[in-house]
Amino acid sequence: MTKRPGTPRMTMPTQLVLHALLGEPGAELYGLEIGDAAGLASGTVHPILARLEGLGWVESRWEDIDPSTAGRPARRYYRLTASGADEARSALARTRRTLGRLLPQPGTP
């Protein structure tokens, strides 16, 4: 299968991360929250986010807190860019269509 340019490989973990981000449009989530929402183990999420960020689908920023007051370091928050959200929806839809073609339909012998 030839992959479209500028599209990440739509592995199941990547799809889960995109679903998690699309599930709360506009919301900013940090790595652990995304992992929890996607049901993925820690360590899996950050490489996916790094690639999505490299493609411009996701943007990130440091949390604006005073670490000494908060008692913890600032978190890195991620969210889908506007174009990234569109691309993600399209890519997920394409994957669903591909699966629909490849998988046998219920009731067919």
Site of interaction with another protein (CB under 8 A) = 1-3, 5-15, 30-32, 41-44, 46-48, 50-52, 54-55, 71-76, 95, 98-99, 102
Q: Shortest distance, CB of residue 53 to another protein, whole angstroms?
A: 9
13/24 with CB nearer another protein: 13
Residue with structure tokens 């592995």?
11
| Assigned token pair, 11 | 């592995």
Which CB atom, from 52 or from 85, has the smaller least distance to another protein? 52
Residue 30, beta-bridge partner list: 77
Q: State how far the Cα of 17 lies from the Cα of 76, in Å rounded to an integer.
A: 16
Least Å distance, CB 13 to another protein, is 4
Distance of closest approach, residue 27 Cβ to another protein, in angstroms: 17
Rounded alpha-carbon distances, angstroms, from residue 87 to 4, 43, 56, 60, 82: 11, 24, 10, 17, 9
